[in-house]
Structure 1
Amino acid sequence: MSWSADPGRDRLAEARRAPARPAGGPWARAGLSATAAAVAYGSWAVFCNRAHGAAAALKAGLTQGTVSLVLTLVMMLILEWLFRLGRTPARGFLLASSGTTALVVVITTTVHTMAGTPRLFSTIAPSCLVGAAFFTTQAFRLSAAARRECAASALR
């Protein structure tokens, strides 16, 4: 323990030296993100398909809510797995962000086509676009944390 005139400064220095990891474990991050996605995009799908009747709107909403919940949960775990496969933070970022985005677009399009969603593009576009940004941001956060950890271990 160091003895300085400002103990808050020492705590700040310790916090900067600590390995930076995103808050919570992979399951906690995935579960919170998946629940938010299910509610948001399921509601959007109902709104988007309301002109086709209540049954079609509800079916689209349940389809999108379920797809969003499952895909977000699974894709967050796959993102972290793909990131680790990259072997370097830069490769992990590219593999994780592009791999999860591609999987989400293909799976979401396929499921909605099979379900007969009337307004396919307008139903899935927001979740795919926001999903791409979300997965890219998450991959960047993992990359930044890995770079900080590498830099910290090099200084030891």
Structure 2
Amino acid sequence: MINNYRKLVNRLSPWQIALLAALVYGAWAAFVNSEHGNQVALKAGLVQGSYAFVSTWLISFIAKSMLAYWGYSQGVRWSAMSVSWLVMLAIPVLLHTWQQTPDLLEAILPGLAIGSLYLWSYCQQLQEPV
């Protein structure tokens, strides 16, 4: 099972993963902000969906680039994950603060938790190209 996941991680384009992230996290942010009205929910969904797309692509690109440049050692994997995680945290906080999203933490926590798991598994499963 892990070998199949490793093959999938190494084969899928960051763009494909980013599109799925945009749909899921945008819908979540809209849902948790729906009690504040349709306009607020729509804005929160668009902000979170946009962030999820850009962030998923960007963190995958950063991690993959760091590993390709500095090697695939465990230390580089953790460094790549740490740098990417900070980017993943900073972007939604800035965007939602700018948009004055009322329930910022509720809007970003699922994405941050799942994104952290994705990022960890992505960094651990990427392999040096043969």
Give the TM-score normalised by structure 2. 0.86
Larger Rg: 1
Alignment partner for residue 30 of structure 1, among 1, 4, 14? 14
Structure 1 position 119, deviation (Å)? 0.4
1:137 and 2:115 are equivalent in the alignment? no
Paired residues for 1:21-100 under 5 Å: 22-24=9-11, 28-100=12-84
SS of residue in 1 equivalent to 2:102: coil
Alignment partner for residue 93 of structure 2, among 109, 128, 140? 109
User: May I ask how many residue pairs the two structures share in their alignment?
Assistant: 123
In 2: Cα distance, 1:48 partner to 1:111 partner: 16
SS of residue in 2 equivalent to 1:33: helix
1:120-143 deviations in whole A, cap 9, x for unaligned? 00000011111111011000002x
In 2: Cα distance, 1:48 partner to 1:86 partner: 40
Contact 1:83 1:96 (C-alpha < 8 Å) held by counterparts: yes
Q: Larger relative CO (CA 8 A, sep 6+): 1 or 2?
A: 2
Give the TM-score normalised by structure 1. 0.73
**Which sections of structure 2, spanning at least 5 residues, go unmatched?**
1-5
**Which sections of structure 1, spanning at least 5 residues, go unmatched?**
1-19, 150-156
The 4+ residue runs of structure 1 with deviation greater than 4 A are none
Structure 1 position 107, deviation (Å)? 1.3
In 2: Cα distance, 1:130 partner to 1:96 partner: 17
